[in-house]
Amino acid sequence: VALLSAVVVAPALDVLKTALSGDYRHAVVPVSPPETGPIDQFRGGVRRGWVELLAFVRRSPGAHVVSIAVGVGFGALGWLAVDPLVGAVTTSIESRLVGHVPPAAAVNFFGNNWGVAIATATAGVALVIPALSSIAFNGVALGATAALESNPLALAAFVLPHGVFEIPALFVSGALGIRLGVVSWRTYRGRLSGEAFANALENAFWVLVGLGILLAVAGFIEGFISPYYWRPFV
């Protein structure tokens, strides 16, 4: 459901809104038919998304530092906040994996995480605050869950393989939200043109495509590898 919402329903609604608005204002120019087939378009899109992702990470270290600081800081806050409940309330990664179906879980993990990344980044247009709030909320949730875990070693073993892809991707989405918030504010203040704002939104789209690649890898690992490899050892 999350995956279909992200890649089918939301784009279809956006196209519908654009068409209705553009038809009313006579402002939409028809798009010419693509010159390449769908497979080549997909490959080109994936390649461009990856390139734009790497370029964004390189050119915006400050936004990434802020995103990481908020995530780690609120993760620590979540850990400390539930300290009085440790022992009285527990969570268990092993119990959460009961009934785990790898293919369905992998798709669900990917869809949910990509949806969170898209929402975090695009919400940053509203002057950064929603993007930071999303990172903070996820930090608190993860910190609290880790603090209450009955088998911390099993949780760490489960998270490690996919977490090296998933956690950085979510930090990048926060940094992208910060960047869009700054661009939005500068546009509102008249320091950037509407064209520059539109270009920033287009760039954000391609960065999110790149994040989708990372999160697809993370989802596959979380679905098929993370729940199983550690069991003989932990």
Q: How far is 17 from 35, CA to CA, in rounded Å?
A: 26
- Look at residue 13 in the predicted model and tell me its pLDDT: 75
Instruction: Write 183-190 long-range contacts (CB < 8 A, 24+).
Output: 184/124, 184/125, 184/126, 184/127, 185/127, 185/128
Amino acid at 229: Y
Q: Determine the residue type at 111.
A: G
Give pLDDT tens digits for 108-136. 999 999 999 999 999 999 989 999 999 99
Residue 150: half-sphere exposure toward Cβ, Cα within 13 Å: 10
pLDDT exceeding 90 applies to what percent of the chain? 79
The pLDDT of residue 8 is: 74
Q: What is the mean pLDDT of residues 10-15?
A: 73
DSSP symbols for 88-115: TB-B-HHHHTTT--HHHHHHHHHHHHHH
Query: What tens digit of pLDDT does each residue of 168-213 get?
Result: 999 999 999 999 999 999 999 999 999 999 999 999 999 999 999 9
Predicted confidence (pLDDT) per residue in 43-78, tens digit: 999 999 999 999 999 999 999 999 999 999 999 999
Q: Which ranges in 6-101 belong to alpha helices (H)? A: 10-25, 38-59, 61-81, 93-96
- Going by pLDDT thresholds of 50, 70 and 90, the confidence category of residue 34 is confident
Q: Minimal CA–CA distance to 159: which of 89, 212, 91, 211?
A: 91
Indicate if the pLDDT at residue 214 is higher than 90: yes
Whether pTM exceeds 0.85: yes
